[in-house]
Amino acid sequence: MSVSAISIRGARKHYGPLQALAGVDLEIRQGEFFGLLGPNGAGKTTLISALAGLTRLDDGVLEVMGHDVVSDYRNARRQLGVVPQELVFDPFFTVREALRLQSGYFGLTRNDAWIDEILEHLDLTAKADANMRMLSGGMKRRVLVAQALVHRPPVIVLDEPTAGVDVELRQGLWAFIRKLNTDGHTIVLTTHYLEEAEALCHRIAMLKAGRIVALDTTSNLLHRFSTHALRVRLAEPIGLDFLPGAREAGDGWVEIPFERYGEVEDMLSRIRLTGGRIEEMVLGEPDLEKVFVGVMHAA
């Protein structure tokens, strides 16, 4: 079996009395598009900082492509591109200078062809000679993505990369990151946009108070914790005993869960036979937001 892209074993971290990581175990395989989700303060950034060698764990082992992030730091760091959450830059450099400088940290002196390619993909070519301080927040975020890629790392970790990025650019960014994944890069993503995680990630871990509280493929999570639902708004209330699982959802709406679309026809005819008159109707798909809320509530 090939080495894991990221291996996390028994990761623990305290900040004073606060337990930021309470024993996290996680293996992310090469080539995965993996989502790390959790509410504010769950420990996602702490874990990413530790992977990047910016924070020391109290206990546990972290490896990137088999390289220990403490005892084999240089090799581990080379395998990893991190797009940090905070926008921190030297405002006096141009975009190209910042990327050359970053290349220099990895000993890459002739990297301009690759830098041009990254700039092109991130729609930053026109801004290559602009000073960092002159860029908008969304552009700065794209420069952060570019910086993480200068040394062509096989594993790329993005900590909320689309915060503050407008819809069009967000889609462009995702198309590029998807391409990196199809080209073989492992992608680890944290985001608070759950529809984004649902659309992109093959597998998801949910973190709460420094612990993993759910870990599965995206489709298994969707099916385990969320269901399809038929929602109808009725002209007048009717008894709901004949509709298994049905519940009042406010303002005359009734929600009825189901597993297969074939069940909908039967539900509608039962409503009609009981004298129910439908004024509006919506079919709800399982979605990651419901899963997230359900998991966080139960944990």
Ligand X SMILES: Nc1ncnc2c1ncn2[C@@H]1O[C@H](COP(=O)(O)OP(=O)(O)OP(=O)(O)O)[C@@H](O)[C@H]1O
CB of 255 to ligand X, least distance (A): 30
Using CB under 6 A, which of the segments 37-45, 74-82, 172-180, 286-294 binds ligand X? Answer: 37-45
**By the rule CB under 6 A, 164 interacts with ligand X:** no
Measured distance CA(158)–CA(239) in Å, rounded: 50
CB of 39 to ligand X, least distance (A): 7
CB of 46 to ligand X, least distance (A): 3
Looking at the Cβ atoms of 20 and 230, the one nearer to ligand X is 20
Binding letters toward ligand X, positions 50-89, x by CB under 6 A? -----------------------------------x----
The residue behind tokens 């039967």 is 266
Q: Which residues pair with 215 in a beta bridge?
A: 205
Q: Which residue is nearest to ligand X (CB)?
A: 45
In single-letter form, the type of residue at position 115 comes to I
Using CB under 6 A, which of the segments 44-52, 142-150, 211-219, 249-257 binds ligand X? Answer: 44-52
| Residue 4 per-residue DSSP state | P
How buried is 294 (Cβ within 10 angstroms: 0-12 exposed, 13-18 middle, 19+ buried)? middle
Q: Which residues pair with 280 in a beta bridge?
A: 233
**By the rule CB under 6 A, 40 interacts with ligand X:** yes
The residue behind tokens 């944990």 is 299
Looking at the Cβ atoms of 209 and 234, the one nearer to ligand X is 209
Please tell me the count of residues contacting ligand X according to CB under 6 A: 12
CB of 42 to ligand X, least distance (A): 4
Looking at the Cβ atoms of 44 and 96, the one nearer to ligand X is 44
CB of 233 to ligand X, least distance (A): 36
How many C-beta atoms lie closer than 10 Å to residue 138's C-beta?
Answer: 16
**By the rule CB under 6 A, 147 interacts with ligand X:** no
Question: What is the end-to-end Cα distance of the chain in Å, rounded?
Answer: 33
Measured distance CA(33)–CA(196) in Å, rounded: 12
**By the rule CB under 6 A, 141 interacts with ligand X:** no
Structure tokens at 203: 């597998």
How buried is 62 (Cβ within 10 angstroms: 0-12 exposed, 13-18 middle, 19+ buried)? buried
Question: Taking the mean position of all CA atoms in its chain, how far away is CA 127?
Answer: 27
Q: Which of 43, 153, 161, 286 binds ligand X (CB under 6 A)?
A: 43
Q: Would you tell me which residues interact with ligand X (CB under 6 A)?
A: 15, 18, 20, 38, 40-46, 85
